[in-house]
Amino acid sequence: MQCRGAMVLLLLGLTEVLSAEPPAAENLHMLSPEEHKAILNLGQKVLPRDCHEVWESSGGQAMDGIYLIQPADSRISAYCSMQDGGWTVVQHITVNSSVDFDRTWEEYKRGFGALSGNHWLGNQYLHQLTSGNVRYKLGVKLVDKDAVTKFGEYDPVLLEGEEAQYRLRLGLFQGTAGDALTQDTENYLHDNQRFTTKDRDNDNYFQNCARLEFQGVAGGGWWYDACAGANLNRRNVIYWQKDCNKEHLCKYAWMMVKPSELIKVVKVKGECGKDEL
Ligand SMILES: [Ca+2]
């Protein structure tokens, strides 16, 4: 009897250890087993909504890295870039990345790649992040081959749900990069477009833009028009109108979101004049 009791206790203890890890997150496929343990808020019971909340509750002290967040129903892990108030990274690409961005609708929906490197967080999660009560903005960071960094912001950003084919809705642009998503200068307008992947054609071209190849590499999923004035998911050429293209090569790109701070933006306006653009 005693022995059986001990066994039950042992089993209970074991269950506790097992339930403490791995963390309950929907996108663990985007982390290596070592990275499961490296999640910076592992064990936190009530999860922050996004990386901005992590930053805020740490008094601005939280470090960059992978955190568990819960934008809506889904508990996910995401890479947080903590400078400038805590951005939730939704895309990162390095030119000629070994991560293939030529993926299916389902893969773009749930995310792929490695959170600590090149990845797409997932349209479903970008939808959850941007469609709640909090208004979000989209940040785009581009680094060219000479390490010159350009930045752009769209405020607000909303990604509609899967029933609307993850249509992209963008507000006003500001930044040092060109506006390649809402400006219609080359007849390619990405704002208000639905998402297209190699297996789901929602674009305005007679063929599927995601399947069109440049030097043997397909475009990957994107909010294509017919087809693109910008596309950050073509592995061999990061494309952002005049800032990044096949003549002016860029090495890295990031897309990220955080709550917009309209009141602070008005306050900061005076300081903007000091910026050397
Ligand atoms: Ca088409």
**Can you read off the two tokens belonging to residue 232?**
């950050």
Under DSSP, the state recorded for 197 is B
Separation of 226 CA from ligand 1 center, angstroms?
A: 8
pLDDT tens-digit series, residues 69-96: 999 989 999 999 998 999 999 999 999 9
Q: Are 151 and 175 in contact (CB under 8 A)?
A: yes
Separation of 188 CA from ligand 1 center, angstroms?
A: 14
Share of the chain above pLDDT 90, in %: 80
Separation of 196 CA from ligand 1 center, angstroms?
A: 8
**Residue 36 neighbours by CB under 8 Å, 6+ apart:** 21, 22, 23, 28
- The per-residue pLDDT for 226 is 94
Separation of 207 CA from ligand 1 center, angstroms?
A: 4
Q: Where would I find the H helices in 231-261? A: none
Separation of 209 CA from ligand 1 center, angstroms?
A: 6
pLDDT tens-digit series, residues 251-277: 999 999 999 985 444 444 444 444 443
**Can you read off the two tokens belonging to residue 270?**
């005076």
Separation of 206 CA from ligand 1 center, angstroms?
A: 5
pLDDT tens-digit series, residues 171-220: 999 999 999 999 877 779 999 999 999 999 999 999 999 999 999 999 99
Separation of 235 CA from ligand 1 center, angstroms?
A: 21
- The per-residue pLDDT for 24 is 80
Separation of 231 CA from ligand 1 center, angstroms?
A: 16
Entry pTM: 0.86
Separation of 227 CA from ligand 1 center, angstroms?
A: 9
Domain layout of the chain by residue ranges: 24-257
Separation of 200 CA from ligand 1 center, angstroms?
A: 9
Separation of 250 CA from ligand 1 center, angstroms?
A: 27
Q: How far apart are CA 92 and CA 96, in angstroms?
A: 12
Separation of 76 CA from ligand 1 center, angstroms?
A: 32
Q: Which fold has domain 24-257?
A: Gamma Fibrinogen; Chain A, domain 1 (3.90.215)
Under DSSP, the state recorded for 205 is S
Separation of 193 CA from ligand 1 center, angstroms?
A: 12
Separation of 205 CA from ligand 1 center, angstroms?
A: 4
**Can you read off the two tokens belonging to residue 262?**
């309209």
Separation of 28 CA from ligand 1 center, angstroms?
A: 33
Separation of 190 CA from ligand 1 center, angstroms?
A: 14
**Ligand 1 (single-atom ion) residues, CB below 5 Å:** 201, 203, 205
Q: Are 186 and 231 in contact (CB under 8 A)?
A: no
Separation of 143 CA from ligand 1 center, angstroms?
A: 30
Indicate the residue type of 179: D
- The per-residue pLDDT for 187 is 74
